[in-house]
Every structure is written in C-alpha cells, then in structure tokens.
Amino acid sequence: MVFATPVVIGNWKMNGLRADGEARVRQLLDLRRAQPGAGTLGICPPATLLSPIAAILGDGDILLGGQDCSSEAKGARTGDISAPMLQDAGCRLVIVGHSERRLGHGESDGQVRAKAVAAAAAGLVAILCIGETEDQWAAGRTLEVLDRQLEGSLPERATAESLILAYEPVWAIGTGRTPSAEEIARTHNHLRARLEQLIRGGEGLRILYGGSVKAANAGEILAIDHVDGALVGGASLDAAAFWAIYRAGQAA
C-alpha cells in the first residue's frame, strides 16, 4: 500500500507507562472516530507498550510502530528487538536511523540500511530518518550531508510500499526551532529528485518532515510541496495536540 497523505506518525521515544500510554491511545481513537478524515496515522510507543496498545488498536487504521529494530532476525543480542518480534507484537512500522540512535548510539549509515532491510524482510515499513546537525546546517552543508546519509542508508530495493523517508534536522528536534518554509521546501524538493534517481518508483515514496512540529506550525509545514506528512516527537505525547497536527494536514 502507498500511504495516503498526510502521513502523521508519533514517536513517543522513552515516554509512557501503561496507564498513561493506554489512555492516550483511547483518546486518539475517540478523536479518530468522531472525525475520521483521510490520511495515515501511526504511533511508535516504547517497546513495553506495544502489545497492550496493539490490543486496544485492534484491526483499526491507526498503525503501530517500533522505534528501532535490530539488523538480525534473532540471536545473541541482549537488549535488542528484532523486526519479526515487532511484527509479532502487532507493528506495521518501525523507525530506523533516528538521530538519537545515529548520534546517541553511534549507528552508521550501513547499520541503518541493514535495519531497514531487516524491517522489509519482516513485512514492516521502515521510517528511515536522515538529518543534518546544527553545525552542518550553519555551514550550508545540509543537502550534501543528506545525500551521503541517503546513499549510505537507503536500501536499493526500497519502494513506496516498504519505506517512508523522514527528514529531521537534528537541531530542530525537541528545540522548538524549525528551518524556514523555504528551506524545508528546498530540501524536500532535493530529496524527491534524489529518490527518483536512486530507486525505481522513487517518485511515489512519502517524505515526512520532523523536528518541533506542533499544532501551531503544522498547517504551514504540511502545505509545503513534497512534504507528505510529519514525524512528531514531543507533541505526540498529547493526544489532542497530535490530533490537531493530523487535522492541520487535512486542510493543507
């Protein structure tokens, strides 16, 4: 399936215990029932909440995702979670290459690519994150850095059905700062063209923007050409705010 736009995915990161996580999902389901709307909605809670949340979501159309996966299907990898395990827990998505993994855990482009390949092999859609640091941005190196990350971490066989790309400037994550609309437009245009060169059918691949997306700026960001949706961190921890972002994308 190629994802209906806007594609709005919440990344809860390491936040949520069972009571508040379940309550947030129930609230989201209520909002969705009241105002269905088009597009694709997904949430990536911590691994400990995947099974209980999968039970609440059932066969509905809110997609469940993991925040990372191993490049291996099983084995002696203490603390890691494999793509088949996520699939087994009810996931249809998995984030790979988030900057908090690349920078905080030293993941290379090659490792991120191997994770995206493992995700596809397990039938999951990988949400592949790329993004420049503040220094790289300030030095005008954004597109060069993104090209390198894309070439190093995009699986050759990626398709619009198996992979979603997320552009997340590292300096915009959790900071309340975002690039200007013109910068986002230029970057997404560039990524669209690169995807068309790198993979067959690349023109259909969804490209999300992530980094300090909130209800207040979502309308403007989601209306930018080639911004097919958003990867939302902090604001996804509030069901009403997350829903408002999704609704802003309906109007865009």
Q: What is the largest CA-CA distance in the chain?
A: 48
Total site size for ligand PGA, rule CB under 6 A: 13
Q: Got the DSSP string for 221-245?
A: HHTSTT--EEEESGGGGSHHHHHHH
Considering only residues 6, 84, 233, 249, which one is a binding residue for ligand PGA as defined by CB under 6 A?
233
- Distance, in Å, from the CA atom of 77 to the CA atom of 81, rounded to the nearest integer, reads 8
Told to judge if 168 belongs to the known catalytic residues of this protein, a careful annotator would answer yes
Told to judge if 105 belongs to the known catalytic residues of this protein, a careful annotator would answer no
Considering only residues 68, 107, 132, 168, which one is a binding residue for ligand PGA as defined by CB under 6 A?
168
Q: Give which of 59, 186, 65 is closest to 122, Cα–Cα.
A: 65
Rg over CA atoms, the chain: 17
Contact between 206 and 164 under an 8 Å Cβ cutoff? The reply is yes
- Does residue 211 bind ligand PGA (CB under 6 A)? yes
Nearer residue to ligand PGA within complex by CB, 81 or 232: 232
- Does residue 231 bind ligand PGA (CB under 6 A)? yes
Question: Can you point out the beta strands (E) in 85-151?
Answer: 93-96, 125-130
User: Which residue in 107, 168, 188, 226 is the catalytic one?
Assistant: 168
Considering only residues 213, 215, 221, 244, which one is a binding residue for ligand PGA as defined by CB under 6 A?
213
Nearer residue to ligand PGA within complex by CB, 10 or 84: 10
From the list 85-93, 105-113, 195-203, 225-233, the region that binds ligand PGA by CB under 6 A is 225-233
The residue to which tokens 């971490």 are assigned: 153
Residues marked active site are found at: 98, 168
Which residues would be at the binding site for ligand PGA (CB under 6 A)?
11, 168, 173-174, 210-213, 231-235
